Amino acid sequence: MFVANENRYETMKYNRCGTSGLMLPAVSLGLWQNFGHKGCFANMENMIHTAFNLGITHFDLANNYGHPYNGSAEENFGRILDDMRHYRDEMCISTKAGYEMWPGPYGNRNGSRKYLLASLDQSLKRMKLDYVDIFYHHVFDPNTPLEETALALDQAVKQGKALYVGISNYNKEQTAKMVELFAELKTPFIVNQPSYAMLNRWVEQDGLDKFVEEKGIGLAVFSPLYQGLLTNKYLNGVPADSRIGKGETWIGSQLNEAMVAKLNKLNAVAERRGQKLSQLALSWVLHNPAVATVLIGASRPEQIVENAACINNLEFSAEEIAEIEAILAE
């Protein structure tokens, strides 16, 4: 039986998610890449335990996470929870539905009531849970009326299967429509989950971050390390065992000489701050007041420990921000 570290909350920072009552750890653990049946279960279990003992209480999943088949991450997380259910009320567990999941017209990429509610039931069964804390629509669907999607998420809350709802991969315009719908329904809509990183600033260009901050909605950011590019791993080229080296990410096409030079300049800033490049990148994202939490991925426990340490240096001087902006503009 897992026994948690008694001092686990002393080393983590917690932020309110928008203006809701829900507090999220500044660093959360996403279970996308390395929690399927393709991986080592003992390592997955160790990563969850390590995260929880660091005060990382938020674990983010989706129905299609895991390899070699969709749902395997939720299944493995459910197995890990078997020895941690005593701590369920100390955890914030989220899942999503929206991408392709099962054959036929009802499990393909969409936002229909049929798909969302059926998927949530399947997710709860895989994780052996009565409810999730946050249920997301995973991706905007232009072919389903937003009213239908909003009503389905609202029903999940009314059924007691989710405490809060969120959306992911929605831009400002799409988010604004959902804000109106959820306000009418009085649904606890508290979070949008977009990609956002030093090298991926579309949420700023779109105005999404300012909009959600005004509306009292938090951002839970995924890919804050830009598919691992914003780490020390690529400062001297491409290691054979890296995701780029193994061809597991599209980001490799961006790793040219100019990008390597930019990464090394950012790393110099990080070193002066007593950080690694990955920690700088996470601290920079958390510097945006709209961001409640950054979602990190990991393949081993040591990465979680390293990335969680970003909270030890979250403040930036005006000079540091100016220098970073100049580097990013090159």
| pLDDT, average across residues 59-73 | 95
Using CA atoms, how far residue 205 sits from 51, 141, 171, 172, 200, in Å, is: 32, 22, 10, 10, 10
Write the CB contacts of 312 (distance below 8 Å, at least 6 apart in sequence). none
The CATH classification of domain 14-227+277-312, taken from the options 3.20.20.100, 3.30.930.10, 3.40.50.300, 1.10.760.10: 3.20.20.100
Is the per-residue pLDDT at 291 higher than 60?
yes
Q: What is the pLDDT of residue 256?
A: 84
Q: Which helix (H) or strand (E) holds 166?
A: strand 162-168
Q: What is the pLDDT of residue 70?
A: 94
| Angle of the 257-272 helix axis to the 277-286 helix axis, nearest 10 | 80
pLDDT tens column, 226-243: 988 999 988 887 776 666
Model confidence pTM above 0.85: yes
How many CA atoms does the CB half-sphere of 167 hold within 13 Å?
27
Residue 151 and residue 185 in contact, taking contact as beta carbons nearer than 8 Å: yes
Which residues on adjacent β-strands are paired with residue 200? 197
Residue 282 and residue 307 in contact, taking contact as beta carbons nearer than 8 Å: yes
Structure tokens at 129: 């849970």
pLDDT tens column, 6-42: 999 999 999 999 999 999 999 999 999 899 998 899 9
Q: What is the pLDDT of residue 29?
A: 98
| pLDDT, average across residues 292-311 | 97
Q: What percent of the chain has pLDDT over 90?
A: 88
Residue type, position 214, single letter: E
pLDDT band per the 50, 70, 90 thresholds, residue 254: confident
Q: What is the pLDDT of residue 208?
A: 98
Q: What is the pLDDT of residue 248?
A: 63
Q: Which helix (H) or strand (E) holds 2?
A: none
Residue 270 to residue 278: CA distance in whole angstroms: 9
Higher pLDDT, 58 or 245: 58
Residue 112 to residue 184: CA distance in whole angstroms: 19
Q: Is 236 exposed, middle or buried (0-12, 13-18, 19+ CB in 10 A)?
A: exposed
Q: What is the pLDDT of residue 232?
A: 92
| pLDDT, average across residues 280-302 | 97
pLDDT tens column, 104-160: 999 999 999 999 999 999 999 999 999 999 999 999 999 999 999 999 999 999 999
| pLDDT, average across residues 260-268 | 95
Residue 285 and residue 159 in contact, taking contact as beta carbons nearer than 8 Å: no
pLDDT band per the 50, 70, 90 thresholds, residue 67: confident
Ordered by start, the domain boundaries in the chain are 14-227+277-312
Q: What is the pLDDT of residue 240?
A: 64
Average pLDDT, the chain: 95
Q: What is the pLDDT of residue 245?
A: 57
Q: What's phi and psi for 118, nearest 5 deg?
A: -65, -40
Using CA atoms, how far residue 50 sits from 139, 222, 292, in Å, is: 30, 20, 21
pLDDT band per the 50, 70, 90 thresholds, residue 47: very high
Q: What is the pLDDT of residue 257?
A: 85
| Angle of the 301-308 helix axis to the 277-286 helix axis, nearest 10 | 50
Residue 130 to residue 257: CA distance in whole angstroms: 51
pLDDT tens column, 157-190: 999 999 999 999 999 999 999 999 999 999 999 9
